[in-house]
Amino acid sequence: MKFNHITVAGSGVLGSQIAFQTAYKGYPVSVYDINDEALEKAKDRIREWMPYYKEDLGATDEQLDEAFNRMSFHSDLAEAVKDADLVIEAVPERTDIKTDFYEKLARVAPEKTIFASNSSTLLPSQFAEVTGRPEKYLHLHFANEIWKNNTAEVMGHPGTDRQVFNDVVEFAKSIGMVALPLKKEQPGYILNSLLVPFLNAAQALLANDVADAETIDKTWMLATGAPNGPFAILDIVGLTTAYNIIQAKAQATHDPDAQRIADMLQNEYIDKGKLGRASGEGFYKYPDPAFRDPGFLKS
């Protein structure tokens, strides 16, 4: 089935990117968030992505304006989903918030609507029943900076309809993604099965005062040739999301390292307004972070 109208729910770091990329590729997109203030923030975020579309993809002002004009913004959920063939959910990475969202969504979405979550760490089988339409529910996981880091991991649960899965794979391709189908449920998909342990290891080195963030990043960049170290990546992810992930781990495992990392993120960064690149400062200061300095890897 070809989708005609897409709704993106949650218009934060990832939701705003998914919505804009989908509109850029020609779909009408309804953006849903909890209130007008959040929606205004989303519009500002989207304007911030536009220069990257010009720089990285050669997009013209006209194309960017057209994409923006294909988007509509709603704080009323029923209104936001009334035409949706597909709802892509990008609300905060908390089981209680997502469960509550799906309960409300199930009450107002048309029967045809497929629900896909962009959750980074949770499994589709956790929410399949609460959606009220388990066969039309799966995960569609994007990476940050979606316009150039164009992975779309597609992961069903055992009850996801095959055709629904295949339609979502085709949709992902139609918005310029490389679709990466998973054969079974895997916490963290492919990407985060690799990335989360890596970022946790880096944060443990910092929280245990083994080395500072710049030294850890330098080590990784020099030794592997990678363009970014773990703390530059964490700034892109956003420290609130990083905190939610590590705090959930600390609660589930009582791992003292995880708790130390969560406390460090909260006390030394989040409480001071250092939320990552989107807020202008995280582990680095933006727009000219130290790791982009030509001398960074030389001394």
Interface with ligand NAD, residue 97, by CB under 6 A: yes
Of 7, 19, 20, 33, which one interacts with ligand NAD (CB under 6 A)?
A: 33
Of 7, 10, 84, 128, which one interacts with ligand NAD (CB under 6 A)?
A: 10
Of 21, 22, 131, 241, which one interacts with ligand NAD (CB under 6 A)?
A: 241
Interface with ligand NAD, residue 113, by CB under 6 A: no
Interface with ligand NAD, residue 91, by CB under 6 A: yes
The distance of closest approach from Cβ of residue 295 to ligand NAD in the complex, given in angstroms and rounded to an integer, is 28
Interface with ligand NAD, residue 289, by CB under 6 A: no
Of 7, 30, 119, 247, which one interacts with ligand NAD (CB under 6 A)?
A: 119
Query: CB–CB of 10/90 below 8 Å?
Result: yes
Contacts of 276 by beta carbon, 8 Å cutoff, 6+ apart? 234, 235, 236, 237, 238, 239, 240, 282
The distance of closest approach from Cβ of residue 99 to ligand NAD in the complex, given in angstroms and rounded to an integer, is 10
* Cα distances (Å, whole numbers) of residue 255 to 23, 78, 208, 234, 267: 42, 42, 13, 21, 18
Interface with ligand NAD, residue 9, by CB under 6 A: yes
Q: Which stretch binds ligand NAD (CB under 6 A): 32-40, 46-54, 204-212, 262-270?
A: 32-40
Interface with ligand NAD, residue 34, by CB under 6 A: yes
Place of tokens 């629900």: 115
Task: Report DSSP letters for 177-233, one per residue.
Answer: -EEEE-SS--TTTTHHHHHHHHHHHHHHHHHTTSS-HHHHHHHHHHHH--SS-HHHH
Contacts of 110 by beta carbon, 8 Å cutoff, 6+ apart? 81, 82, 83, 84
* Binding interface with ligand NAD (CB under 6 A): 9-15, 33-34, 38, 90-93, 97, 101, 118-120, 141-142, 144, 237-238, 240-241
